[in-house]
Structures are given as C-alpha cells and as structure tokens.
C-alpha cells in the first residue's frame, strides 16, 4: 500500500516535457549557448573550416587535384625570393596606408559636414552611401571606363579646364598613376563607411559638452580637438581597424582596373594569390600569399582592440 | 491485392532509402541519365546557341539529358579549382590551352575518342597535340582552335601605298607611317594573355624562347631576346602610343573597331564583332598572316578541348555526347560553321573547311607555312611553365624595357624570375 502510494506521488510530481523545457529555457546558462549555437555553427562551417584549410595549404605543396605534403614554412620563404611578391608586399602597404589615411581625413570631414543642419539632409546622407551600396565590380567598371586610355573622361575634363596638357596621364599604364588610380577608387568606395559610422559617433556626443567648451571660450578648432576627437576615438579605432583589414584584402578594384599591372605595380595579396593559386593551380603558394600578413594583422587587431577597450572603459 | 499496412510501408521505405543513401545510387526506375557541361562564353555567341541546339537534339536522339552552363573565360580557373577540390560539379568541362596538363590526374583518358576522330578527320593540329595529350595520353578531346592573325586597316595601307608586312621588320616600316597618319600599331604590353600571344611569335621568329624544350633550362637571357626587346623599343617609340601599357585583352580590338589603330595582332574576333555591330570600320578591316622572322613564321594558337572529370558518375554518357558533337561530321561541321571562323576545325583533313570561304577576309586564316604553338613553347606545358605564363614575365620584361630599363637589366630580371619558378 505504502509502495503504491509512493508510486502515485512520484508520478504526479514529475513535470511534463513542456514544463521541463520551459524551465530549462528560463535558465540563462542554457539559453545563452542555445541562442549562440546557430551563429557558432555557421562560423565554424564558413569561417573556421576554410581558414584552417588555408592554414594547412600554406604549409603544404598543395596543387589542385593532386596529393599534397607538409613542407613547413618553405612557401613563405620562397615567396620572399620572388620579385613579384616583394613588389606586392610594398604595394599593399602603400595602397593601404594612403587609402586608409585619406579615408580617415575625408571621412571625418564628411561626417562633420553631414552633422550640420543641411537642406535635404536625409537625401544627402542616403546618397553618400551609394558608392558603398553599389556592387564594387560594377562601379569599378565605370571607373575603368573613366580611366580608359582611349576614352578617359577624367583626362577629357582635366584637359577641358586646362589643368593638364594633352594627351594627359596614362592612368592605368604608368605605375605611379595606376597606383594613384586604384587608391582613388578605393577611397571613393570606402569613404561612406567611414563617414556614416563616424556620423553615428558624432551624433552620440552630448551637446552639453560643446556648450560648456563654448562657454569656456573654445573656438571651432579647439572644440574639435578637445571635445569631438577624444570622444570619437573609440569609433574611429574600430573603423580604422575594419578598413585596414578590408583595404589590405582588396581584390575587386585591382582585378577589374589593372589586373595587378603595369609591371606588378598594383598587385595586392589577394590578386597575386589568385594568379598563383587558382590560375596556375599552386594553391599551397596561393594560400601562403594570402596568409603572409596574418600574424602582423593579428597583432594590429589585438593592439587596436585593446586601445578601443581602454577608450570605452 | 493485399493492402500495405502503415508499418510495412514505413519499413520498406526506410530500408530502401537507407540503401540509396549508403550506395549513392538511385533505383533503376528513378535513374535519369543526365550530364552537365561547363564551357566558356564563346567570343562568337552564335556558336553557344548552336551548342544548345545540338544539346537538345542529343537529348532527343539518345534520351540523355544535357545541361550546358557558360562562364567567362577568366572565371574558369577558380570554378575548375573548386570542382576539383570538392570532387563535385559538372561532368564535361571545356579545357583551354594547357588546362589538361594542370588537371591531368583528374581527367578521364579519352584516347579512344581521339583515335576515332583522327581516323575520320586526320591528326589533330600540333598545338592541340602539345596541350591535350599529356605524357602520351589524351586527357581531353580537341574541339576547335582560334589563332592570332594580323588585323589591319586595308584602306589606310592602300592610301599610304604601304606593303603588307611579311616580317616584323616590315611592320616597323609600315607602323611608322601609320602612326604619322594618326593610326598607330596596337600591340598590348601589359599583364594580359594577348600581350604574350604577340610577344611569343616575335621571340620564336627570331629563334628565341623562354624555356628550352627540356622544361628546365631558362633561355630568356639571349641575343634573340635582346633583339626582340630592341624591336619592341623602337616600335613603342615610333609606331605605337603609351596607351598600350594599360591595355587589356579587349583594348586592341576596340582600338581598331573604333577607327584608331591601323594594325593589331588578334584572332578575327575584332572583325567579326565590327561586322555584327555594323561598325563603319568593318568594311575597312582585313587580315594577313602573322609576320615572320629569320627563324620562320610562328603564331600563338588557342586550342580548346573537352575533358571529362574522373569524379563524374556519367563518364560513358559524357563520352557519348563528345562523340555526338565532334564525331558526326555533319554535326561538327554545323557547329564549326556557327562560329563565323572564330572556332576553326582542329583536325588536319578539315583544314580546307568551308568556314574559311564564308568571307573573303578569312583567307589569311589558312596561314600556310605558319607554325602554331601554345604559350611557353618549346617547353612542355607543365605547371611551372604555366606559372611563368600567368606571372606575365615576358610582357613585364618588355614593359620595363620600353619604359627605361636597359635591355640587359630587363632580361636579367626575367631570367631571375623564371629560374626561381623553375627551381621552386
């Protein structure tokens, strides 16, 4: 009897599956991982797997469709012997330094301008985003036409207003002009990202700080230097970090405009990696080109995130 | 008739599905013979339409469905690499030039098909043999080829009383006059394949080469290469304009089509497009065979082949399609005719094909006495030679030389780069 009664009590005390599930989902220690897991699975599949494959390829003599062997860092050492690679290495720093530097200056200027009370403010802010929204390959084709040796509208305009003498620069055929051309297009394309993100940072700065500074006699330059810039540092750090990574790994602009020419003067890591890894089948070497800067970029990312965290707290 | 219980149905379906999943083979009743073919967007679009039409007829005649996909030539290497790495994708693939060498371990031996075709049409042309026959085994079936010829403005030559260039030196003489007339010669010197397609024949005609036929000895630092550089230097100065340093594969076509260039080196596509678009220059363009030099007359040829991936589960149906397209004279003939002389027959007995007579301006395509080669000749098309080609060392050497680097330094640079690749 006693046993029977215990059994009845136990059965009635056991909560239903729904109730147990509901209870489980109420616990943060369970709910958090459940919410994070889809993103984690996606990251593992789409980021971690290709990344580790690339890491393996870079230390192997992998050739498309053939068995590969581990060769240590031989690819990295051998690459440094190639003139094309050394040129690419130099190009990457010139391209990234000039483009990111110009985007910082122009991005802050544009953000300050967009933060003013302007007519058609929303329309202008929307229009500024256009270069960022249009597919890069498509917009770069437009630039390719503008820099075309036969029909360059850039040269035509500069000639018409008397800035240059005919026939004008051969934009994509001379190495310094070609580098300038790809930098210009990268700035044009990346500027909206800087401007809009910095604008969000500007809007978040309390107006009272400007009023207090003004009351203390600070002019526009002093207000920018002592109020705006310090409070923008966090956002600026993040934007520069992202832009540095994107600019180092630029592919479309170079591929469409110059294919890395003339004389390898505009090749970047991504375009050279494609040339060696895909067009020739030497994916081991191609992966090594792509990952050459990975350790250095990791240090930059770590330092910059540390800086941003310091700013935030 | 006995009825099927729910339990029986579930068990039967479950076992069947498990069997299909385990073996990867669908039941006979569900098997649909279907193959897929990946090829480039042909510069003669009418031939792609004809290919689709032939594909439909093939399905009707054999019951094998065929799906034909097209991509731009520049996307082919990336697409092929992904198909090989994942061991999945199309059954048949179009193989340009030395692709069969690059993908050799992944391609089915198609020597049986080529043997049948050669019995019917004669030997495949030398450039097709060099590129599709890898170490004695045909890894792809020669389909057609497109060679470079000289494309010139006949009206300008007549107006100035210029002689049709028979040698590259003759071209320099004519080129000087053309530039004075405002219609310079247009030979690209940049990082693209057209630049190599012209530089190669010039180097070969002088007796030079990039790498020797052993595939190991670099020969670019030679008196012949120096002679080629000097020729380019004077051409760049007296017959061309600096714009050639920024040209891509299409720029020379555009230049002659738009009425600027007086002479270019290109397949007949420049003329075909001008004709199709009814451009005024179409009537004034004509062709002549590629100029020669002391070591004969050489020309770059771009043979195209059809390969079958080893990972394909439809090797036999795929071979059937290749036989249908290329092995039936009336079908192959129809296909070649649709290409308006851009796709030329690739077998010896077909070198008097009616396609050469469809336009009097195609006469130069029957270039007698011309030797056809793929990039890198006489070296066998290994991956190292392919990397030399794809690294554009030859045009970069020329670009350096015409923009101020000394001939000696330019050759030394090219030699160094090539040696590193060969040693790697």
CATH 3.40.190.10 given to domain B149-300+377-423: yes
Average pLDDT over residues B349-359: 91
> B69: pLDDT confidence band, cut at 50, 70 and 90?
very high
Average pLDDT over residues B121-139: 93
Best of A154, A281, A288, A290 to disrupt the B interface by mutation (most B CBs within 10 Å)?
A281
pTM above 0.90, yes or no: no
Looking at per-residue pLDDT, the higher value among B341 and B174 belongs to B174
Q: What is the mean pLDDT of chain A?
A: 88
- Residue B392 to residue A261, Cβ atoms within 8 A: yes
Residues of A in contact with B401 (CB under 8 A): none
- Residue B191 to residue A261, Cβ atoms within 8 A: yes
Q: In this structure, what token pair is assigned to residue A14?
A: 């056991």
Find which of A9-23, A194-208, B214-228 is predicted with most confidence, using mean pLDDT. Answer: B214-228
Neighbours of B348 (CB within 10 A): 13
Residues of A in contact with B241 (CB under 8 A): 167
- Residue B246 to residue A149, Cβ atoms within 8 A: yes
From the list B129, B37, B52, B99, the residue with the least C-alpha distance to B319 is: B37
Residue B151 parent element (H or E): strand B149-153
Is A83 in CB contact (< 8 Å) with chain B? yes
The pLDDT tens digits of the residues spanning B144-168 come to 998 889 999 999 999 999 999 999 9
From the list A239, A158, A165, the residue with the least C-alpha distance to A201 is: A239
Tokens 């046993």 -> residue:
A3
* Cα B68 to Cα B93, B114, B302, distances in angstroms: 10, 22, 22
> B20: pLDDT confidence band, cut at 50, 70 and 90?
low
> B328: pLDDT confidence band, cut at 50, 70 and 90?
very high
Question: Does the pLDDT of residue B320 top 80, yes or no?
Answer: yes
Question: Does the pLDDT of residue B126 top 90, yes or no?
Answer: no
> A123: pLDDT confidence band, cut at 50, 70 and 90?
confident
From the list B265, B290, B252, B287, the residue with the least C-alpha distance to B370 is: B290
- pLDDT for B387: 86
Beta strand B263-266 with B185-186 is parallel
Is B144 in CB contact (< 8 Å) with chain A? no
Q: For residue A262, is the peptide bond before it cis, meaning its omega torsion is within 30 degrees of 0?
A: yes
| Alpha carbon B369 to its chain's center | 21
Tokens 């002592």 -> residue:
A226
Q: A49-58 and A283-291 helices cross at what angle (nearest 10)?
A: 110
**Fold exhibited by the domain B33-144+301-361:** D-Maltodextrin-Binding Protein; domain 2 (3.40.190)
Burial of B229 (0-12, 13-18, 19+ CB in 10 A): buried
Give B18-85 as a DSSP string: HHHHHH----GGG---EEEEEEE--SSHHHHHHHHHHHHHHHHHHS-EEEEEEE-GGGHHHHHHHHHH
Partner residues linked to B39 by β-bridges: B70
Domain ranges of chain A: 17-58, 83-312
The pLDDT tens digits of the residues spanning B222-265 come to 999 999 999 999 999 999 999 999 998 889 999 999 999 999 99
- pLDDT for A6: 47
Looking at per-residue pLDDT, the higher value among B386 and B63 belongs to B63
- pLDDT for B398: 97
Question: Does the pLDDT of residue A273 top 90, yes or no?
Answer: yes
The pLDDT tens digits of the residues spanning B301-317 come to 889 999 999 999 999 99
- pLDDT for B9: 62
| Alpha carbon A281 to its chain's center | 27
- pLDDT for B151: 96
Is A64 in CB contact (< 8 Å) with chain B? yes
- pLDDT for A2: 43
The shortest C-alpha distance from B204 to chain A (Å) reads: 23
The CATH superfamily label for domain A83-312 reads: MetI-like (1.10.3720.10)
What ipTM does the predicted assembly reach? 0.81
Give A8-71 as a DSSP string: HHHHHHSPPHHHHHHHHHH-HHHHHHHHHHHHHHHHIIIIIHHHHHHHHHHTB---TTS---B-
Q: Where in chain B is the domain with CATH 3.40.190.10?
A: 33-144+301-361, 149-300+377-423
d(CA A171, CA A187): 16
């Amino acid at each position: 009897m006693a046993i029977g009664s215990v059994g009845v009590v136990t059965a009635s005390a056991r909560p239903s599956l729904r109730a147990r599930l509901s209870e489980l989902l109420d616990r943060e220690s369970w709910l958090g991982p459940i919410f994070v897991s889809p993103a984690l699975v996606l990251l593992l599949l789409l980021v971690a797997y290709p990344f580790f494959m690339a890491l393996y390829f870079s230390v192997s003599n992998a050739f498309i469709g053939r068995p590969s062997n581990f060769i240590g860092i031989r690819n990295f050492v051998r690459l440094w012997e190639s003139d094309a690679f050394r040129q690419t290495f130099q190009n990457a720093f010139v391209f990234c330094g000039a483009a990111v530097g110009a985007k910082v200056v122009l991005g802050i200027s544009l953000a300050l301008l967009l933060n003013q009370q302007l007519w058609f403010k929303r329309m202008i802010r929307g229009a500024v985003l256009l270069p960022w929204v249009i597919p890069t390959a498509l917009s770069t084709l437009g630039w390719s036409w503008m820099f075309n040796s036969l029909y360059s509208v850039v040269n035509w305009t500069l000639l018409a207003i008397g800035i240059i003498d005919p026939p004008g620069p051969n934009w994509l055929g001379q190495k310094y002009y070609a580098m300038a051309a790809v930098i210009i297009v990268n700035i044009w394309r990346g500027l909206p990202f800087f401007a809009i993100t910095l604008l969000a940072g500007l809007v978040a700065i309390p107006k009272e700080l400007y009023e207090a500074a003004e009351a203390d006699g600070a002019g526009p330059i002093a207000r920018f230097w002592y109020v705006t810039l310090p409070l923008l540092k966090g956002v600026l750090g993040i934007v520069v970090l992202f832009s540095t990574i994107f600019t180092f790994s630029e592919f479309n602009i170079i591929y469409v405009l110059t294919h890395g020419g003339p004389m390898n003067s505009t090749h970047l890591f991504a375009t050279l990696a494609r040339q060696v890894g895909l067009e020739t089948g030497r994916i081991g070497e191609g992966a090594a080109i792509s990952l050459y800067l990975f350790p250095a970029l990791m240090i930059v990312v770590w330092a910059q995130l540390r800086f941003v965290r310091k700013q935030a707290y | 008739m006995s009825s099927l219980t729910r339990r029986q149905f579930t068990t039967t379906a479950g076992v069947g599905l498990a069997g299909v999943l385990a073996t990867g083979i669908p039941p006979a009743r569900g098997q649909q013979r279907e193959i897929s073919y990946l090829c480039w967007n042909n510069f003669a679009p009418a031939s792609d339409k004809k290919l689709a039409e032939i594909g439909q007829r093939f399905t009707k005649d054999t019951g094998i469905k065929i799906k034909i996909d097209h991509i731009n030539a520049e996307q082919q290497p990336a697409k092929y690499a992904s198909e090989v790495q994942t061991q999945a994708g199309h059954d048949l693939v179009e193989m340009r030039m030395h692709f069969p060498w690059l993908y050799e371990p992944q391609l089915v031996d198609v020597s049986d098909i080529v043997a049948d075709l050669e019995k019917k049409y004669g030997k495949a042309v030398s450039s097709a043999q060099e590129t599709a026959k890898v170490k004695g085994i045909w890894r792809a079936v020669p389909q057609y080829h497109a060679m470079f010829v000289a494309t010139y403005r006949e009206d300008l030559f007549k107006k100035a009383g210029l002689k049709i260039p028979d040698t590259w030196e003759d071209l320099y003489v004519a080129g000087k006059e053309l530039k004075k007339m405002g219609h310079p010669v247009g030979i690209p010197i940049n990082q693209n394949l057209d630049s190599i397609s012209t530089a190669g024949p010039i180097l070969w005609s002088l007796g030079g080469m990039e790498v020797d036929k052993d595939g190991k000895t670099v020969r670019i630092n030679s008196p012949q290469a120096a002679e080629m550089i000097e020729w380019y230097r004077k051409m760049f100065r007296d017959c061309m304009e600096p714009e050639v340093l920024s040209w891509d594969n299409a720029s020379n076509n555009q230049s002659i089509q738009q009425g600027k260039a007086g002479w270019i080196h290109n397949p007949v596509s420049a003329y075909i497009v001008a004709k199709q678009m009814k451009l005024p220059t179409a009537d004034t363009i004509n062709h002549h065979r590629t100029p020669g030099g002391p070591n004969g007359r050489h020309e770059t040829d771009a043979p195209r082949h059809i390969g079958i991936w080893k990972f394909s589960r439809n090797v036999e149906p795929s071979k059937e399609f290749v036989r249908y397209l290329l092995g039936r004279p009336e079908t192959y003939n129809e296909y070649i005719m649709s290409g308006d002389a851009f796709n030329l027959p690739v077998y010896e007995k077909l070198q008097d094909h009616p396609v050469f007579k469809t336009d009097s301006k195609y006469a130069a395509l029957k270039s007698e006495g011309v030797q056809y080669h793929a990039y890198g000749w006489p070296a066998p098309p290994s991956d190292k030679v392919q990397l030399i080609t794809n690294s554009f060392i030859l045009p970069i050497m020329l670009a350096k030389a015409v923009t101020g680097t000394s001939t000696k330094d330019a050759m030394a640079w090219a030699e160094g780069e090539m040696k590193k690749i060969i040693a790697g």
